[in-house]
Structure 1
């Protein structure tokens, strides 16, 4: 099952995923958090012709920081050409539930579920740091 382009919320369990409500006023990449403090965290999901997706947090495309196979997921305010084309791998547990994978084969991971913290990526799922995290995408109709 794939998603349509549109506006979504992304959750890890009950925790909302998104950028912080208040951020520094510079143009550095902005972290994406599990259990964000922004109660209105919305994402734009753009379906690409190759079947991958661009994911936009507060209007900025996302990537792994410094385009590395592992590291924090960030929103790019500048250098947006470096945005990741994410793959959403459906999980059989529930409709709208996915693992988020980068083009380099890394996956999104919440290191401390239930706590406010950055979304990280790991190059190899299931190593001793934990298995890939599952995220629920829910379409928002305005």
Structure 2
């Protein structure tokens, strides 16, 4: 004789909050407000940087890499809003660009082994971006 299944056992449906709960809607609202704030702050920072470039009347490689950082932050926000692409890849791109900018800015003053470590970090990040991108397609 078998015992009746326990309703709180491992096969019981787990109570889940639906997307229509007030808490979830509140968190989504906070997320969207913060993303808009981040976008506005990024655009302001980019504007200040462009103003500095115009005032200095010169463009350096570090300035271009910094503008790429701003562009990638905006791209990451767009991924969150559209839902297309992997939101994990954009922070990796930002880290790669930040490390490249660091190498460019401090390359002459850094010891060769530190440059090699940073280049290795860029390689590791690039490999992880490829793995995440390919895993998302599978």
TM superposition score category, shorter chain reference: under 0.3
TM-score of the superposition, structure 1-length normalised?
Answer: 0.21
- Higher relative CO (Cα under 8 Å, sequence separation at least 6) belongs to 1
Q: Which has the higher helix share?
A: 2
Q: Which has the higher strand share?
A: 1
Structure exhibiting the larger radius of gyration computed from Cα positions: 2
